[in-house]
Chains A and B, each alone.
Chain A
Amino acid sequence: ILNVEQSPQSLHVQEGDSTNFTCSFPSSNFYALHWYRWETAKSPEALFVMTLNGDEKKKGRISATLNTKEGYSYLYIKGSQPEDSATYLCASYTGTASKLTFGTGTRLQVTL
């Protein structure tokens, strides 16, 4: 993988459902993986920065895992609420690129 890829592109779930998305990134010369939450017409908000293989981070109902050897990260949301509706971006930082390389995001919509 040369670019950062996120799937699915969009997701529509009911309130209370749990969901997860995938971020795939280049595993070569990996430094860090960032997750952001971006509500419409607002600023992207940092959720997690992850660096170590096997890392797991949690913030409330949102958690993320990291596999640097195979180049993927999962973001989980437990018991989705309407306020979780947003686009979730991941970005990798490698020594090769020396900058954050972003995916196109997963757009989550949670309805009542």
Chain B
Amino acid sequence: ETGVTQTPRHLVMGMTNKKSLKCEQHLGHNAMYWYKQSAKKPLELMFVYSLEERVENNSVPSRFSPECPNSSHLFLHLHTLQPEDSALYLCASSQTPPGTSGRETQYFGPGTRLLVL
């Protein structure tokens, strides 16, 4: 896959660890997103970045800290997570920032499967 890539694909961490998830988009898009999918739940939006500025934080606990150093890269820094944070974390990007027409297609990465012990 060359559109949106995510590393690592799988991650196991203890509750006291610090780790980071990385996302890179090769599409020249201006908006990037982090989503979380817990078991048997729908995708939940966590953060939105538009032109490297955070435009949305969906009441996400501070143990999740996003970073967008440029329009192609997005990170999710993880610190003192809880077992209930175990989930699939998906990154996505879109050509235009959100909130205009709702028609912007979001292009997803394959996700990072996170297990917190």
Contacts and interface: CB of A to CB of B under 8 A. Distances in A.
Given A43-B1, A100-B45, A104-B40, A32 B110 contact: no
B69 interface: no
Interface residues of B, number: 25
A102 B45 CA distance: 9
Contacts, number: 58
Interface string A80-99: 00000000010101110011
Contacts of A103: 42
A4 B42 contact: yes
B70 interface: no
Interface in B74-117: 90, 98-99, 101-103, 105-111
A43 B4 contact: yes
Q: Is the interface of B mostly helix, strand, loop or mixed?
A: loop
A80 B111 CA distance: 27
B42 A43 contact: no
B42 A49 contact: no
B45 A51 contact: no
Given A98-B99, A100-B45, A102-B43, A41 B110 contact: yes
16 contacts: A31-B101, A34-B106, A43-B107, A45-B108, A49-B105, A89-B43, A91-B43, A95-B102, A99-B48, A99-B58, A99-B98, A100-B45, A100-B102, A100-B106, A102-B44, A104-B42
